[in-house]
């Protein structure tokens, strides 16, 4: 069947497009899994048979292990953990020797079996990965492998368990004391990366397949213009968009596709991380994460490796990918005619934020607030009361002093003249201590409304706390400014912050006490 171009596919046929052109069939997957099992057996039982080196474990990674393989191009990542790599430093210094030994043993092994192995020449003098293609009588097509040696930082991780803070302590120390790029040792955490995706619903994995297919099209077009962000960043953005919806196993694929593209266009305001494997409870990790999330946007932290920022700030050419995403969004009403619901003006709806809560900088971070309490009821929702919601600014306060509100950056302009009124959104990123109340006032008007903060308790140091106050201000004609004041018991002073004009405000504090 000839591949139909994605841009010619109507929104209601995207699921069929994925099934026909992107999702591998059972025979293909069976062949792929047999090839992977053959190489795993070789690595565990034959590769170091006559050596003092022992293989502690072999972990399947990449799209084959996550369940997001595309029909075109079969590849598998295998991470081997030899006993000789006993630290992050030894992995960096000695992995090339392990790669060379695996290659020698593979060359000898293929002569005794029905396998045909074709090696890819590495451009690195000290390669960190062994890449090769495998053919056999059991596999009709060749399968591309990447075998990566790594330090067994996780040990024997039991199902459902998460690593302790000591697992990351040495990694953070090494990251701080050297010029190593973030994510240098992400292979050590392949098991966690795989687990983060593999348990997701099949339909979400299919949406990931669609985003990977779109990315490959962009890559072919843009590779000569600059280095694009990694595909893994698109995977995480897709998961994030789904989580910020209802997290349902059934959702509209076209709406999900549009939502992720919209996130790509707003890359300069993204700050996303999960605390499924690491969190703020450990002091070392807490301070490290606070530094990480204040880096240049976009920030998208690897849920398995806190040093791995696949957003990368200015490291990659996000602007190229964002330009492509904007072009796709602009054509959705024509090429994907039912991608957006038919009601309302299409161009206006494209400009309106469709994801809740707003995810500009930073959104409600997964794990900081209970996602079950922040999800809306429909996947990739478009609730009318959220359409005009726009972020105004980010507040930051670090250290033991009373809350002092410091404006960080303006994230949005006031609503255009004539637009429907609606709440603004203000994100308070960090408070050293939670305020007892938040006052929103019109200035120089005397109108004011004080919102009692439901955060009159102070959790132990390091525990996440969440504040959500909602208040609708009276309409002003026209108010020159708004301000936000923060008060604490016994403190006669109030810290104020000017706000852009609007009709209301929502205060959300994801502070760490």
pLDDT tens-place string over residues 74-121: 678 999 999 999 999 999 999 999 999 999 999 888 888 777 788 876
What pLDDT score was predicted for residue 123? 61
Is residue 23 classed exposed, middle or buried when 0-12, 13-18 and 19+ CB atoms within 10 A define those classes?
buried
Mean pLDDT along residues 289-314: 95
- How many helical (H) and strand (E) elements, i.e. helices and strands, does the chain have? 13, 16
Q: What is the pLDDT of residue 2?
A: 59
Q: Could you give the CA distance from residue 389 to residue 395 in angstroms, rounded to a whole number?
A: 18
Q: For residue range 401-458, what is the model confidence (pLDDT) as tens digits?
A: 333 333 322 222 233 334 333 332 333 332 333 333 333 332 222 233 333 332 222 2
pLDDT for residue 13 is more than 50: yes
Residues 6 or more apart in contact with residue 509 via CB below 8 angstroms: 428, 431, 434, 435, 455, 465, 466, 467, 468
More confident residue, 310 or 377: 310
Reference 152, options 94, 89, 81, 84; nearest CA is 81
Decide: 206 and 254 in contact? Cβ < 8 Å. no
pLDDT-based confidence at residue 331 (cuts at 50, 70, 90): confident
Q: Could you tell me which of 482, 488, 356 has the C-alpha nearest to residue 407?
A: 482
Q: Is 114 helix (H, G, I), strand (E, B) or coil?
A: coil
Report the phi/psi class of residue 59: left, alpha or beta, with left for phi > 0 and alpha for psi in -120 to 50.
Answer: beta
Q: Which of 386-400, 408-422, 492-506 shows the highest mean pLDDT?
A: 492-506
- What backbone phi and psi angles, to 5 degrees, belong to 178? -140, 175
Residues 432 and 5: their CA atoms lie apart, in Å, by 52
pLDDT band at 158 (very low <50, low <70, confident <90, very high): confident
Per DSSP bridges, beta strands 437-443 and 495-499 are unpaired
pLDDT at 27: 85
Q: Could you give the CA distance from residue 486 to residue 497 in angstroms, rounded to a whole number?
A: 9
- CB atoms closer than 10 angstroms to residue 500: 17
Give the pLDDT of residue 419.
Answer: 36
Task: Classify residue 366 by its DSSP letter.
Answer: B
DSSP code for 456: -
Q: Per-residue pLDDT for 290 more than 50?
A: yes
| Domains recognised in the chain with CATH numbers | 1-151 (3.30.460.10), 153-386 (1.10.1410.20), 388-513 (no CATH)
Which tokens in the block code for residue 61?
A: 């990674």
Residues 6+ apart with CB under 8 A from 33: 64
Tell me how far apart the alpha carbons of residues 483 and 473 are, in angstroms, rounded to a whole number.
Answer: 12
pLDDT tens across 315-329, in order? 999 999 999 999 998
What is the Cα–Cα distance from 470 to 449, expressed in whole angstroms?
11
pLDDT for 249 beyond 70: yes
Contact 32, 76 (CB under 8 A): yes
Reduce the DSSP state of residue 93 to 3 states and report it.
helix
Nearest Cα residue to 310 out of 458, 144, 182, 222: 182
Question: Is residue 510 a contact partner of residue 364, using CB atoms and an 8 Å limit?
Answer: yes
Q: How much is the average pLDDT of 10-14?
A: 86
In the prediction, which pLDDT does 428 show?
Answer: 32
Is the torsion defined by CA of 203, 251, 259, 220 positive or negative? positive
- Position 280 confidence tier, pLDDT thresholds 50, 70, 90: very high
Phi, psi of 380 (to 5 degrees): 50, 60
Pairing relationship of beta strands 504-509 and 116-119 according to DSSP bridges: unpaired
pLDDT of residue 124: 64
**Which has the closest alpha carbon to 503: 412, 437, 442, 451?**
442
Q: Which residue has the tokens 């972990």?
A: 59
**pLDDT band per the 50, 70, 90 thresholds, residue 266:** very high
**Of 98 and 463, more confident:** 98
3-state helix, strand, coil in the chain (%, to 5): 35, 20, 45
8-state DSSP, 21: I
pLDDT at 248 exceeding the cut of 60: yes
Instruction: Give the pLDDT score at 435.
Output: 38
Q: Is the pLDDT of residue 465 over 60?
A: no
Task: Quote the pLDDT of residue 508.
Answer: 34
Of 76, 46, 80, 49, residue with least CA distance to 64: 76
Mean pLDDT of the chain: 70
């Amino acid at each position: 069947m000839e591949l139909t171009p994605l841009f010619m596919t109507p929104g209601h046929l995207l699921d069929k497009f994925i099934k026909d052109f992107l999702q591998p069939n059972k025979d293909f997957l069976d062949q792929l899994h047999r090839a992977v099992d053959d190489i795993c057996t070789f690595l565990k039982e034959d590769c170091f048979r006559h050596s003092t080196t022992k293989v502690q474990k072999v972990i399947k990674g990449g799209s084959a292990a996550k369940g997001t393989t595309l029909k075109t191009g079969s590849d598998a990542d295998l991470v081997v953990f030899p006993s000789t790599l006993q630290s992050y430093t030894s992995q960096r210094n000695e992995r090339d020797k392990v790669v060379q030994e695996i290659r020698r043993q593979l060359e000898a092994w293929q002569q005794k079996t029905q396998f045909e192995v074709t090696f890819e020449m590495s451009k690195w003098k000290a390669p960190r990965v062994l890449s090769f293609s495998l053919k056999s009588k059991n596999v009709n097509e060749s399968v591309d492998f990447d075998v990566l040696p790594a330090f067994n930082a996780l040990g024997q991780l039991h199902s459902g368990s998460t690593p302790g803070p000591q697992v990351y302590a040495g990694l953070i120390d090494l990251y701080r004391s050297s010029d190593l790029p973030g994510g240098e040792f992400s292979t050590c955490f392949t098991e966690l990366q795989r687990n983060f995706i593999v348990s997701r619903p099949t339909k979400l994995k299919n949406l990931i397949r669609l985003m990977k297919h779109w990315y490959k099209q962009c890559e072919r077009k843009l590779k000569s213009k600059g280095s694009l962000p990694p595909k893994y960043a698109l995977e995480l953005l897709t998961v994030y968009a789904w989580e910020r919806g209802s997290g349902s196993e059934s959702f509209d694929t076209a709406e999900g596709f549009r939502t992720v593209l919209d996130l790509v266009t707003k890359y300069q305001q993204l700050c996303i991380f999960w605390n499924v494997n690491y969190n703020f409870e450990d002091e070392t990790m807490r301070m490290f994460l606070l530094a990480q999330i204040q880096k240049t946007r976009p920030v998208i932290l690897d849920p398995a490796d806190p040093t791995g920022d696949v957003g990368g700030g200015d490291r990659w050419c996000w602007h190229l990918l964002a330009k492509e995403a904007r072009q796709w969004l602009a054509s959705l009403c024509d090429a994907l005619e039912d991608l957006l619901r038919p009601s309302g003006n299409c161009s206006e709806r494209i400009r309106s934020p469709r994801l809740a809560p707003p995810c500009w900088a930073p959104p409600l971070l997964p794990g900081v607030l209970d996602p079950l309490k922040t999800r809306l009821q429909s996947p990739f929702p478009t609730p009318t009361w959220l359409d005009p919601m726009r972020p105004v600014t980010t507040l930051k306060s670090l250290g033991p002093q009373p809350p002092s509100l410091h404006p960080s950056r303006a994230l949005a302009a006031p609503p255009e003249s004539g637009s429907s009124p609606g709440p603004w959104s203000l994100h308070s990123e960090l408070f050293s201590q939670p305020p007892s109340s938040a006052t929103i006032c019109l200035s120089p008007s005397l109108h004011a409304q004080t919102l009692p903060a439901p955060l009159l308790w102070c959790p132990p140091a390091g525990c996440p706390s969440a504040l959500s106050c909602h208040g609708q201000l009276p309409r002003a004609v026209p108010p020159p400014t708004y301000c936000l004041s923060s008060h604490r018991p016994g403190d006669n002073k109030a810290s104020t912050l000017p706000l852009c004009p609007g009709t209301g405000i929502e205060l959300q504090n994801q502070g760490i006490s």
